[in-house]
Amino acid sequence: MKDSRVVVIGGGMVGAALGYGLAREGIETLMLDEGDQGLRAARGNFGLLWVQGKGADFPAYARWTLESCRLWPDFAAELIELTGIDVHFRQRGGIHYCLDEPELEAYRLELAQQAAVSGTDFEYQFLNARQLARLEPHIDANIPGACYSPNDGHVNPLFLLRALHAGFLARGGHYRPRHHVLSIETAQDGFVLHTDQGPIRAEQLVLAAGLDNCRLAPMVGLSQPLTPQRGQLLITERLPRLLNYPSIYLRQTGEGSIQIGDSSEQVGLDDGNTPAVMAQLARRAISLLPALRHRRIVRGWGALRVMSPDGYPVYEQSRTPGPRVHAFSSHSGVTLAAAHALTLAPMLLEPALSPELDAFTPQRFKD
């Protein structure tokens, strides 16, 4: 006897978006979540919907990211209508700051390549100091240059995760926290998941457990080559409006606090903070936005990104006859949430994923 037609392992940004999308299609779906003891990359997300600088050397990712950002306005409206939760979706554009002349020239080449593989829907404009000052008057005037793209935006990632869970339940989904999956057996008519709360049976399985996909995927004949990458963040006190647009380094939240990033470290599964990196983030933030000097930092944390060998998503589906299983891993959970929920989830009901997603299989690491 099955517990659900589809079981999604993972209640983070990727799992919740896929679970919401399946429930939205009327599919009986059960989401298993570790709860607060999980690594929770979703709760350390910067909250960007980011297109520029994505996929210049990976055309499928450039197009997929752009597609998701096109879906986001309707997706955000759907979530607030269904759940009453405002995810603070803003898509007025985003700005990337180039901190020196070599970076500026390299970024020009990168975005020209991204535009070539993305088509005319990708829009961007490089800004000189005068143009940048009109958009962001508080940014330091000595920044060598910046790039604006109207495709970019941001959300509150904590509100988004909450809305996805609330929407999943509102659509008839079932949620079980504190269910760590110990092992998976493949049966003739589905799967048996052995959890620390007892066995669970499903006809179809979706692995969306972040870094834990590395452990789970081989149990069902799949491969998810992933490594953790730590990023640290700082949050200021609530401030008057100092920023009009988000960037990868700074964004002002709907509540007024300024979120400061980004960093990357290879430290295994350690998601802590370190004084050296926090100081580096603070120095860079002040160099970009001098008004932050002497402002108070009220919170800081570290989180682990889910990284593949090339940094791009890994999507996989079972290749042998029998019960169907999929595995999905990505560090762009917020940007891709709309595509995961509205485009990818319905594909799970078809015999195979769209050929447009073939580029994301782990087979690319063997070629």
DSSP track, 11-63: -SHHHHHHHHHHHHTT--EEEE---TTS--GGGG---EE--TTS-TT-HHHHH
Q: What pLDDT shows up at residue 38?
A: 67
Q: What pLDDT shows up at residue 1?
A: 45
Q: Is 296 left (phi over 0), alpha (psi -120 to 50) or beta?
A: beta
Q: Which two tokens stand for residue 139?
A: 């940014």
DSSP for 84-117? ------B-S-EEEEE-SHHHHHHHHHHHHHHHHH
Find tokens 């996989």 and name the residue.
316
Per-residue pLDDT of the chain (367 residues; tens, 9 = 90+): 467 899 999 999 999 999 999 999 999 999 999 876 666 777 778 999 999 999 999 999 999 999 999 999 999 999 999 999 999 999 999 999 999 999 999 999 999 999 999 988 899 999 999 999 999 999 999 999 999 999 999 999 999 999 999 999 999 999 999 999 999 999 888 999 999 999 999 999 999 999 999 999 999 999 999 999 999 999 999 999 999 999 999 999 999 999 999 899 999 999 999 999 999 999 999 999 999 999 999 999 999 999 999 999 999 999 888 899 999 999 999 999 999 999 999 999 999 999 999 999 999 998 6
Q: Pairing state of beta strands 198-207 and 325-329?
A: parallel
The Cα–Cα gap between 14 and 12 comes to: 6
Annotate 319-328 with b (16+ C-beta within 10 A) or e (fewer): eeeebbbbbb
Q: What pLDDT shows up at residue 91?
A: 97
Q: Do domains 4-48+158-225+310-365 and 227-307 have the same CATH topology?
A: no
What does CATH list as the number for 4-48+158-225+310-365? 3.50.50.60
Q: Give the up-direction half-sphere exposure of residue 86: CA atoms within 13 A in the CB hemisphere.
A: 5
Whose CA is closest to 33, among 214, 268, 193, 230? 193
**Residues 165-179: tens digit of each pLDDT:** 999 999 999 999 999
Does an H or E element contain 145, and which? strand 145-149
227-307 classified as CATH 3.30.9.10: yes
Whose CA is closest to 32, among 158, 170, 199? 199
Annotate 4-22 with b (16+ C-beta within 10 A) or e (fewer): bebbbbbbbbbbbbbbbbb
CB 87 within 8 A of CB 79: yes
Main-chain phi, psi angles of 328, to 5 degrees = -135, 130
The Cα–Cα gap between 21 and 28 comes to: 11
Does an H or E element contain 307, and which? strand 297-307
The Cα–Cα gap between 63 and 45 comes to: 22
The Cα–Cα gap between 358 and 274 comes to: 39
Q: What pLDDT shows up at residue 269?
A: 92
Annotate 266-294 with b (16+ C-beta within 10 A) or e (fewer): eeeeebeebeebbeebbebbbbbbeebee
Q: Which two tokens stand for residue 202?
A: 């499903």
The Cα–Cα gap between 193 and 226 comes to: 22
List the chain domain ranges: 4-48+158-225+310-365, 94-150, 227-307
**Residues 265-278: tens digit of each pLDDT:** 999 999 999 999 99
